[in-house]
Amino acid sequence: MAAQIIDGKTIAQQVRAEWKERADALKARGITPGLAVIIVGEDPASKVYVANKVKACAELGLHSEHVVMSADTAEAALLAKIAELNSDSKIHGILVQLPVPKHINSSKVLEAISPDKDVDGFHPMNVGALATGNMRFAPCTPYGAMILLEKCGVPIEGKHAVVVGRSNIVGKPMALMLLQHNATVTICTSKTVDLAKYTRDADILVVATGKARMITGDMIKPGAAVIDVGINRLPDGKLCGDVDFDSAKEVAGWITPVPGGVGPMTITMLVANTVRAAERATR
């Protein structure tokens, strides 16, 4: 039987509506959640991401500030801007669009953001909070993937979840969240020997490698939930995931398409984290 296609766009709209209610409740108390997005340099893809983030805030009636800094901005100037935003009461969430230019130390930048305003969830304190089961701000992409699983009623507790990829922004936090939901978790990397042995045993398979269509239907357990985080540009300009959708959908129980699966959830969870930051700051 063909898989249920997980409609990320529709679920993202539902989740945004839920968080809009929470934002409206804050606004009724005179508090408008505010997000500051800092971009350093002219990377075209980053500019698109930042524009979409600012737009999503506007849709929910959030305050947003878009700070554009030139590619030759000194690290000290960026840190000074972050310090200013850390003490700005109109701003509840701060995000520095990655990657930053090479002369800037990204770890130093992420650590400069107040953990209370760290809506990307990359500050070591928030990473630690997630690792110790006290999640405050989870990184937006894996957080969105978890919400997709929950909204689709995919059983997690006691299931074997396999995460392919161990990046700090997707794979590792995804694995921690699945563990927090009582899945038995395996993490695979480029060094894993016989990847298919693990993926074929997965009740939940999350793939975040950046390798176009590397997971094929024969690597998937019948009925599994397949979450494809990858976004790859093919030579013909079309987008595809890390999973070969056509063969995988014949085997899986649930599957996210690319585009239209995990992607729409990422910005939604950023907005959610901003509203949560405002709630935490004002309770």
Give me the active site residues, please: 53, 97, 120
> Which tokens hold the place of 95?
């995000």
The phi and psi torsions of 212 (rounded to 5 degrees) equal -55, 125
Chain residues 79-138 in contact with ligand NDP, contact rule CB under 6 A: none
| Tokens 């006290």 -> residue | 134
Question: Among residues 195, 268, 260, 228, which one has the least CA distance to residue 23?
Answer: 268
Residue spans of alpha helices (H) in 152-236: 171-180, 195-199
Shorter beta-carbon distance to ligand NDP: residue 27 or 47 = 47
91 Cβ contact list (under 8 Å, min separation 6)? 34, 35, 36, 63, 65, 85, 117
The phi and psi torsions of 240 (rounded to 5 degrees) equal -145, 165
How many Å is the maximal CA-CA distance in the chain?
57
Shorter beta-carbon distance to ligand NDP: residue 81 or 198 = 198
Chain residues 44-83 in contact with ligand NDP, contact rule CB under 6 A: none
Shorter beta-carbon distance to ligand NDP: residue 32 or 216 = 216
Shortest reach from residue 263's CB to ligand NDP, in Å: 4
Shortest reach from residue 102's CB to ligand NDP, in Å: 17
Shortest reach from residue 219's CB to ligand NDP, in Å: 11
Residues 214-253, mask of contacts with ligand NDP (x by CB under 6 A): x--------------xxxx---------------------
Shorter beta-carbon distance to ligand NDP: residue 70 or 190 = 190
List 64, 97, 180, 266, residue binding ligand NDP (CB under 6 A): 266
Shorter beta-carbon distance to ligand NDP: residue 190 or 282 = 190
For 29, counting Cβ atoms within 10 Å of its Cβ (0-12 exposed, 13-18 middle, 19+ buried), the class is exposed
CB 220 within 8 A of CB 199: yes
Shortest reach from residue 116's CB to ligand NDP, in Å: 23
Chain residues 153-212 in contact with ligand NDP, contact rule CB under 6 A: 164-167, 169-171, 188-192, 195, 208-211
By rule CB under 6 A, what count of residues binds ligand NDP?
26
Q: Please, what is the end-to-end C-alpha distance for the chain in angstroms?
A: 49
Residue 262 carries which DSSP code? S
89 Cβ contact list (under 8 Å, min separation 6)? none
Shortest reach from residue 126's CB to ligand NDP, in Å: 17
| Interface with ligand NDP (CB under 6 A) | 141, 164-167, 169-171, 188-192, 195, 208-211, 214, 229-232, 262-263, 266
